[in-house]
């Protein structure tokens, strides 16, 4: 699709109501940025497309799976990726992903 | 890209008094404007996530091309296993799904005190005011020694028309012909990429029964730079007799007309195909911010800010402080990863908050070895102390916590199939 040569924006239309409001970052959930590092393989917010959907899974199950993959001998790439985070970070990631609404597209 | 305005930039950066003279929009309108230069993996991702996380932040993405042709999977376009459309990514979803404004054009000058970017568009020059500017222009090539014409001897290290040229040259190879390629000096974009290319070209020549055809790899580095086990096996076993690998082959001169190349490890005249992949440096617009000895722009690992706190550089153009011998690789996956750290830091800065220090970045590459099998490489970094070669702390940066390639038995068809799941996920997370 061709680029518009002038800047156009969907948000430009609502600019009047936007002034003075604060950005959404004010209440950033602690694990959000860390969990976004899983999205290259599990989709934005863990909602796919990609490998297993992560959104909305139980935090304890996710944390348990991640710890298991981190500690077992390396087979697949996920066993390596799990080694890239501290346990405290894996806990934050699991907690965050458990709060995301599933995509509804799970197999 | 020789027409960026270095003089104007330097004047603006040097003269604090120029600041007052520049027109500035009323402060009520200046809140939360981010301009992103370059719509590759870094730029597309930072634009998307700024909008996804940033609520009301205005984001404009500046990119000269109507679509992005990914380098990822492009070696499979060289062998006709995939079509070009498979790696062609559009920008419209960033606009319709996320409200990113698009401007077709090339950024040519920056006025840091005035916080203003000049863009050359198809219809003339435009300026964009910003609160934060993110530069993600990818790589430029270092000057080639000798007479290099990329139309005759393509690099195909930026995908698109170059990929098609090299593909056509490979398709025209016959029995006994020689495909000669160079591996640039590290650091360069995609450490496993050149070795992967050697493998898929060798596999293609075998499948086409080009008897006696050879793939000659001239590596400027002392050894294979990524996945040494997988590529070592591929060179000495899977593609034995086809791939010939020469380390420490620094290019001294090249002549595209005769497809000849002189290196510190030897000379080759009249190659059938000469795939010269030059040494690399930061994209020109980012290099304006100042480069290190390897040609890339040093950044703060928490914010990707340069020496100027409102100008950020992400992706292949930046140099992240890291432990000695454990550099952060230049990959599309990593550019996407850095973009998220940068987006979060910018949103916090706009909100008057300090950057998050509990951060991690990662990279993954899947590398086809044949038309059915692939290997992979995974690397993970966390923020904290970084170390010199003697294990002494030398500062703060992104320390590599883990790295590894696929275990031998996993260099198989499962990994080849996984490669497409990963690529589609990465493409969508960056562009959709
Ligand atoms: C053969 C090959 C295989 C690869 N395989 C993998 C892989 O398996 N996994 C992986 O993760 N990575 C892979 N990569 C690496 C990956 O392609 C790059 O690391 C990635 O594209 C870097 O992203 P970037 O945003 O920094 O730059 P790019 O993606 O190159 O994007 C830069 C963009 O900026 C634009 N631009 C430049 N200058 C300006 C300007 N002045 N104004 C406006 N726009 C500008 C360009 O047009 C371009 O669209 C591979 C690379 C190659 C060559």
Q: What is the pLDDT of residues B161-205, one digit of tens each?
A: 999 999 999 999 999 999 999 999 999 999 999 999 999 999 999
The answer on B272 and B285 residing in a single domain is no
The answer on B285 and B274 residing in a single domain is no
pLDDT of residue B305: 98
Digit-coded pLDDT (tens) for B415-431:
999 999 999 999 999 99
* Contact yes or no for A3 and B347 at CB 8 A: no
**How far apart are the CA of A17 and the centre of ligand 1, in A?**
37
The answer on B335 and B311 residing in a single domain is yes
pLDDT of residue A42: 98
Mutate to test the interface with A, among B25, B27, B56 (most CBs of A within 10 A): B56
Residues of A within 8 A of B381 (CB-CB) are 84
Residue among B90, B337, B361 minimizing CB distance to A1: B90
Mutate to test the interface with A, among B428, B431, B432 (most CBs of A within 10 A): B428
Class of domain A28-99: mainly alpha
Tell me what the mean pLDDT of segment B293-302 comes to: 98
The answer on B253 and B132 residing in a single domain is no
CATH number at residue B332: 3.50.50.60
The answer on pLDDT for B391 being more than 50 is yes
pLDDT of residue A15: 31
Residues of A within 8 A of B428 (CB-CB) are 43-44, 49-50
Helices (H), ranges, B210-265: 228-233
Q: Is B332 in the pocket of ligand 1 (CB under 6 A)?
A: yes
Nearest CA among B196, B164, B173, B172 for reference residue B183: B196
Nearest CA among B103, B108, B104 for reference residue B2: B108
The angle subtended at Cα B350 by Cα B303 and Cα B332, nearest 5°, is 35
The answer on B270 and B218 residing in a single domain is yes
The answer on B87 and B194 residing in a single domain is no
Q: Where a domain ends, among B245, B278, B311?
A: B278
**How far apart are the CA of A5 and the centre of ligand 1, in A?**
23
* Closest Cα in chain A, distance from residue B118 (Å): 14
Assign 3-state DSSP to chain B and report helix, strand, coil percentages, each to 5: 30, 30, 40
Domains held by chain B: number = 2
**How far apart are the CA of B315 and the centre of ligand 1, in A?**
8
pLDDT of residue A84: 98
The answer on pLDDT for B28 being more than 60 is no
The answer on B222 and B337 residing in a single domain is no
**B396 within a domain of the structure (yes/no):** no
pTM of the full structure: 0.92
The answer on pLDDT for B26 being more than 50 is no
Digit-coded pLDDT (tens) for B55-86:
899 999 999 999 999 999 999 999 999 999 99
Q: Which residue of A has its CA nearest to B419?
A: A41
| Element containing residue B205 per DSSP (H, E) | helix B193-207
CA–chain centroid gap for B81, Å, is: 23
Mean pLDDT of chain B: 93
On whether the CB atoms of residues B185 and B221 are closer than 8 A, the answer is yes
The answer on pLDDT for B273 being more than 70 is yes
On whether the CB atoms of residues B134 and B40 are closer than 8 A, the answer is no
Model confidence at B119, in pLDDT bands (50, 70, 90)?
very high
Q: Is B137 in the pocket of ligand 1 (CB under 6 A)?
A: yes
Higher pLDDT, residue B103 or A107: B103
pLDDT of residue A9: 28
Closest atom of ligand 1 relative to the B4 alpha carbon: 41
pLDDT of residue B31: 64
Residue written as token pair 């949103």: B347
Tell which one of B155, B284, B289, B316 to mutate to probe ligand 1, the residue whose CB is within 8 A of the most ligand atoms: B316
The answer on B262 and B150 residing in a single domain is yes
φ, ψ of residue B344 to 5 degrees: the values are -60, -40
What token pair was written down for B417? 């199939």
The answer on B265 and B147 residing in a single domain is yes
| Element containing residue B12 per DSSP (H, E) | helix B6-14
* Closest Cα in chain B, distance from residue A58 (Å): 22
Q: Is B71 in the pocket of ligand 1 (CB under 6 A)?
A: yes
The answer on pLDDT for B403 being more than 80 is yes
Q: How many angstroms separate the CA atoms of A63 and B119, rounded?
A: 47
B165: containing domain: 143-278
Model confidence at B13, in pLDDT bands (50, 70, 90)?
very low
The answer on B187 and B62 residing in a single domain is no
Half-sphere exposure of A12 (CA within 13 A, CB side): 10
The answer on B351 and B320 residing in a single domain is yes
pLDDT of residue B283: 98
Model confidence at B134, in pLDDT bands (50, 70, 90)?
very high
pLDDT of residue B159: 98
Computed on alpha carbons and rounded to an integer, the radius of gyration of chain A in Å comes to 18
On whether the CB atoms of residues B141 and B36 are closer than 8 A, the answer is no
Nearest CA among B360, B368, B364, B409 for reference residue B384: B360
pLDDT of residue A26: 55
Nearest CA among B274, B415, B332 for reference residue B74: B332
Residues of B within 8 A of A66 (CB-CB) are none
* Contact yes or no for B362 and A74 at CB 8 A: no
Tell me what the mean pLDDT of segment B44-50 comes to: 98
Mean pLDDT split into 10-residue runs, chain A, 107 residues: 32 32 64 98 97 97 98 97 98 98 76
Helices (H) then strands (E): counts for chain A: 6, 0
Model confidence at B2, in pLDDT bands (50, 70, 90)?
very low
On whether the CB atoms of residues B302 and B123 are closer than 8 A, the answer is no
Q: Where a domain ends, among B278, B310, B342?
A: B278
Residues of B within 8 A of A86 (CB-CB) are 382
The answer on pLDDT for B211 being more than 80 is yes
Q: Is B296 in the pocket of ligand 1 (CB under 6 A)?
A: no
Q: Where a domain ends, among B303, B325, B357?
A: B357
| 3 state SS of B203 | helix
The answer on B330 and B314 residing in a single domain is yes
Residues of B within 8 A of A3 (CB-CB) are 63, 66, 91, 102-104
The answer on pLDDT for B16 being more than 50 is no
Nearest CA among A93, A107, A106 for reference residue A32: A93
Tell me what the mean pLDDT of segment B19-42 comes to: 65
Q: Which residue of A has its CA nearest to B427?
A: A40
* Contact yes or no for B53 and A84 at CB 8 A: no
What token pair was written down for B205? 């020549």
The β-bridge partners of B376 are: B366
Helices (H), ranges, B223-331: 228-233, 284-287
Where are chain A's structural domains? 28-99
**B3 within a domain of the structure (yes/no):** no
């Amino acid at each position: 699709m061709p680029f518009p040569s002038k800047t156009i924006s969907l948000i430009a239309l609502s600019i009047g109501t936007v002034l003075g409001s604060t950005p959404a970052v004010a209440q950033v959930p602690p694990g959000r940025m860390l969990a976004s590092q899983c999205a290259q393989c599990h989709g934005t917010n863990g909602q796919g497309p990609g490998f297993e959907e992560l959104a909305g899974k139980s935090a304890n199950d996710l944390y348990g799976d991640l710890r298991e993959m981190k500690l077992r001998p390396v087979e697949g790439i996920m066993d390596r990726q799990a080694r890239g985070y501290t346990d405290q970070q894996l806990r934050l990631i699991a907690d965050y992903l458990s709060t995301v609404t599933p995509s509804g597209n799970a197999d | 890209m020789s027409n960026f305005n270095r003089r104007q930039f330097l004047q603006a950066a040097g003269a604090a008094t120029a600041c007052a003279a520049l027109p500035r929009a009323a402060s009520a309108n200046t809140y939360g404007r981010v301009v992103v230069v370059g719509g590759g993996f870094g730029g597309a991702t930072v634009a998307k996530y700024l909008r996804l996380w940033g609520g009301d932040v205005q984001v404009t993405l500046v990119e000269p091309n109507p679509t992005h042709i990914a380098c990822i999977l492009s070696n499979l376009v060289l062998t006709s296993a995939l079509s070009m459309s498979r790696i062609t990514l559009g920008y419209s979803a960033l606009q319709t799904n996320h409200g990113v404004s698009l401007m077709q054009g090339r950024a040519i000058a920056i006025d840091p005190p005035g916080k203003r970017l000049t863009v050359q568009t198809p219809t003339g020059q435009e300026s964009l005011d910003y609160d934060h500017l993110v530069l993600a222009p990818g790589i430029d090539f270092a000057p080639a020694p000798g007479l290099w014409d990329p139309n005759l001897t393509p690099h195909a290290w930026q995908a698109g028309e170059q990929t098609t040229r090299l593909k056509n040259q490979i398709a025209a190879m016959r029995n006994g012909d020689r495909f000669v390629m160079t591996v640039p000096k590290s650091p360069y974009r995609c450490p496993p990429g050149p070795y992967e290319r050697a493998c898929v070209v060798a596999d293609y020549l075998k499948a086409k029964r080009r008897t006696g055809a050879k793939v000659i790899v001239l590596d400027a580095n002392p050894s294979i730079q990524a996945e040494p086990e997988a590529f070592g096996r591929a060179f000495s076993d899977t593609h034995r007799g086809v791939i010939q690998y020469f380390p420490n082959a620094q290019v001294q001169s090249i002549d595209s007309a005769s497809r000849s190349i002189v290196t510190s490890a030897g000379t080759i005249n009249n190659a059938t195909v000469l795939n010269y992949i030059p040494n690399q440096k930061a994209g020109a617009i980012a290099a304006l911010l100042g480069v290190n000895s390897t040609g890339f722009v040093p950044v703060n690992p928490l914010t990707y800010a340069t020496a100027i706190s409102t100008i950020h550089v992400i992706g292949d153009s930046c140099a992240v402080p890291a432990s000695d011998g454990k550099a952060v690789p230049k990959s599309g996956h990593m550019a996407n990863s850095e973009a998220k750290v940068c987006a979060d830091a910018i949103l916090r800065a706009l909100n008057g908050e300090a950057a998050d220090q509990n951060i991690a970045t990662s990279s993954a590459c899947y590398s086809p070895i044949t038309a059915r099998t692939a290997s992979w490489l995974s690397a993970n970094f966390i923020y904290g102390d970084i170390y010199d070669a003697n294990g002494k702390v030398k500062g703060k940066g992104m320390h590599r916590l883990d790295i590894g390639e696929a275990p031998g038995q996993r260099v198989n068809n499962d990994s080849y199939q996984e490669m497409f799941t990963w690529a589609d996920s990465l493409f969508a997370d960056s562009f959709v």
